[in-house]
A and B are shown apart, each in its own frame.
Chain A
């Protein structure tokens, strides 16, 4: 009830009263014609005058009633006040009309109560139709405005989402990686065009997969591996023979769900802190195994390890936090030193079976 009360208030404030006045005049004329057509014995001008008197007084009282309803009752009891206004308007209009055309109002009411009753009924019916139409059109306009507003809000939200995705993409495609890759492609174009093309293809593959991932909440281990392969291929062209890598994922994990952005920080760390700063380079291994129905995914390198590495680690804190949220404490990330050198990062999480 409350919402319709407020709806009534807004309708009253937004209703186009001059237009509805013109509409009332048209309706009055229409009713007069209608009555005259079904009862030829009347004087058309008399019918017209009475009709207008009734219509206009309903209109006036209606407006007054609306005003009182909105300002005195805050929109409550509106059906009651509307009916009252119509009834009183009909009576007053009929009386006024009778005065103008010289009818004896009392006599007319008493002798022709049937005729009077029908006029009253028709007045009620038409004023109901008019008010309903006015109400409905304004409600349609209001609904449309609401839809427009919602659409604008949704667009704004979508923009925010796109922005967030771009930020995510930016966070993933590190500027240093981007510029270095492009610098390598440029330097290879003249002397080794095949290698340059290969590198660009891998880079496009990497960008496409990254972009797709920013749109999905879920990813699969297979997809993440494709992305990491592209990434490592690019790094391999850059580092030359200093980087070797192997990926060993048993086929049972082909359809395993895996959250996006969890594997990449581990691989990046292994390259950035383990292998890139090591003069002779080394090998990076990504491997998965099943441990009592849980997935154990390791990224291992034989690089410099965490020796003296005290900064950074931010990516790993994020991985830890995301694991905690996504798996409700049922997943973990451990970091170990490998012998004789290097680091192993292991994610362990429950699989979807």
Chain B
């Protein structure tokens, strides 16, 4: 009886660590065939799609796509083992039957356990388990990028693009097609409209006080009223006072 050859992929952006796992696997599971070492998530995804390996050892933190993102996209094509050097929050969550989780540098003992488990699962000949719910849970534990409120404003100052931290902004003022970002150091222009900005800024830090004005609450010095009864906002260490339109005047009413 000829046993089916088992194929595996190792994905890790740190070459030394990928090589090390390959060497360890060669010793502990000589029948396993490593088809490729992928240096990033995109490469890993491509190889899994093209070559259909039985097992994928995926580093969590990789350029291109993270290990979890690769896992979410391959749709039960391979059995998964996640590998990482350090993730203090994730370890417990990964203690799950469906996937295994190895800490780098992996020890012989731990890797042997993982191999035994994989062999058992492969012997049943069933398809890899459904783990999308688990992956979603894991993804929520790991730190994400690109979510939350704007912390930085990318604004052009002459030929340069400046990155202005949100806490340094005094206020935003609509100006034709652009919006002016006013800081202590001066003015910069961005293409986002006041409407688009209100959706992306932290509403606790930035208040819209007028159709064309958003002010940083922390930079407000005081408020006054003019003869017509309009509320005026005075900005800290800045000459400009900003008018508050009637619709937003309730924000400044006395408590």
Docked-complex contact A316 and B165, CB < 8 angstroms: yes
A312 to B151, CA, bound (A): 9
By a CB distance below 8 angstroms, the chain B residues around A191 are 19-20, 23
Q: How far is the CB of B116 from chain A (nearest CB, A)?
A: 22
Docked-complex contact A310 and B105, CB < 8 angstroms: no
Docked-complex contact B149 and A310, CB < 8 angstroms: yes
> In chain B between 164 and 191, which residues have their CB closer than 8 angstroms to a CB of chain A?
165, 167
> In chain A between 306 and 350, which residues have their CB closer than 8 angstroms to a CB of chain B?
306, 308-313, 316-317, 320, 334-337, 343
Docked-complex contact B14 and A238, CB < 8 angstroms: yes
B154 within 8 A of partner (CB): yes
Docked-complex contact A183 and B105, CB < 8 angstroms: yes
A242 to B40, CA, bound (A): 11
Docked-complex contact A336 and B13, CB < 8 angstroms: no
Docked-complex contact A306 and B85, CB < 8 angstroms: no
Task: Say whether, besides A279-B63, A308-B145, A317-B167, A183 and B152 are in contact (CB < 8 Å).
Answer: no
By a CB distance below 8 angstroms, the chain B residues around A195 are 16
A336 to B154, CA, bound (A): 8
A279 to B151, CA, bound (A): 25
From B48-56, B155-163, B212-220, B223-231, the one touching the partner chain is B155-163
Docked-complex contact A184 and B14, CB < 8 angstroms: yes
Docked-complex contact B16 and A336, CB < 8 angstroms: no
Chain B facing A: main interface SS: loop
Docked-complex contact A310 and B154, CB < 8 angstroms: no
Q: How many residues of B contact A (CB 8 A)?
A: 36
By a CB distance below 8 angstroms, the chain A residues around B15 are 240
Name the interface size band of chain A: 35 or more
B238 within 8 A of partner (CB): no
Q: How far is the CB of B144 from chain A (nearest CB, A)?
A: 7
> In chain B between 24 and 39, which residues have their CB closer than 8 angstroms to a CB of chain A?
39
Docked-complex contact B152 and A187, CB < 8 angstroms: no
By a CB distance below 8 angstroms, the chain A residues around B247 are none
Within the complex, which residue of B64, B85, B148, B160 is in contact with A183, where a contact is CB–CB below 8 Å? B85
B122 within 8 A of partner (CB): no
Docked-complex contact B165 and A320, CB < 8 angstroms: yes
Docked-complex contact A311 and B147, CB < 8 angstroms: yes
By a CB distance below 8 angstroms, the chain B residues around A183 are 17, 85, 104-105
By a CB distance below 8 angstroms, the chain A residues around B105 are 182-183, 186-187
Docked-complex contact B147 and A277, CB < 8 angstroms: no
From A33-41, A173-181, A250-258, A292-300, the one touching the partner chain is A173-181
Q: How far is the CB of B22 from chain A (nearest CB, A)?
A: 10
Docked-complex contact B152 and A306, CB < 8 angstroms: yes
Residue of B nearest to A280 (CB): B63
> In chain A between 267 and 314, which residues have their CB closer than 8 angstroms to a CB of chain B?
276-279, 306, 308-313
Docked-complex contact A311 and B145, CB < 8 angstroms: yes
Residue of A nearest to B162 (CB): A336
A302 to B117, CA, bound (A): 43
Task: Say whether, besides A187-B105, A335-B162, A336-B163, A279 and B42 are in contact (CB < 8 Å).
Answer: yes
Residue of A nearest to B23 (CB): A191
Q: Which of A178, A183, A335 has the most CB of B within 10 A?
A: A183
A221 to B50, CA, bound (A): 51
Q: Which of B21, B148, B165 has the most CB of A within 10 A?
A: B165
A188 to B14, CA, bound (A): 12
Residue of A nearest to B17 (CB): A187
By a CB distance below 8 angstroms, the chain A residues around B163 are 306, 335-337, 343
A182 to B16, CA, bound (A): 12
By a CB distance below 8 angstroms, the chain A residues around B160 are 336-337
Docked-complex contact B14 and A186, CB < 8 angstroms: no
A239 within 8 A of partner (CB): yes
A216 within 8 A of partner (CB): no
Convert B80-104 into 0s and 1s, putting 1 for each residue whose CB lies closer than 8 angstroms to a CB of A.
0000011010000000000000001
Docked-complex contact B16 and A309, CB < 8 angstroms: no
Q: How far is the CB of A265 from chain B (nearest CB, A)?
A: 13
By a CB distance below 8 angstroms, the chain B residues around A190 are 23
Q: How far is the CB of A138 from chain B (nearest CB, A)?
A: 57
A343 to B86, CA, bound (A): 27
Q: List 9 A-B contacts (CB under 8 A).
A: A180-B14, A187-B16, A187-B20, A192-B16, A195-B16, A242-B13, A279-B39, A316-B165, A334-B162
**A residues lining the B interface (CB < 8 Å):** 175-176, 178-180, 182-184, 186-188, 190-192, 195, 237-240, 242, 276-279, 306, 308-313, 316-317, 320, 334-337, 343
- Of all A-B residue pairs in the complex, the 5 with the closest CB atoms, nearest first, are A187-B20, A335-B163, A337-B161, A179-B86, A186-B105
Other A-B pairs, 12, CB within 8 Å; known A179-B86, A187-B20: A178-B86, A186-B20, A186-B105, A187-B16, A240-B15, A278-B63, A306-B152, A308-B145, A309-B146, A310-B147, A310-B149, A336-B163
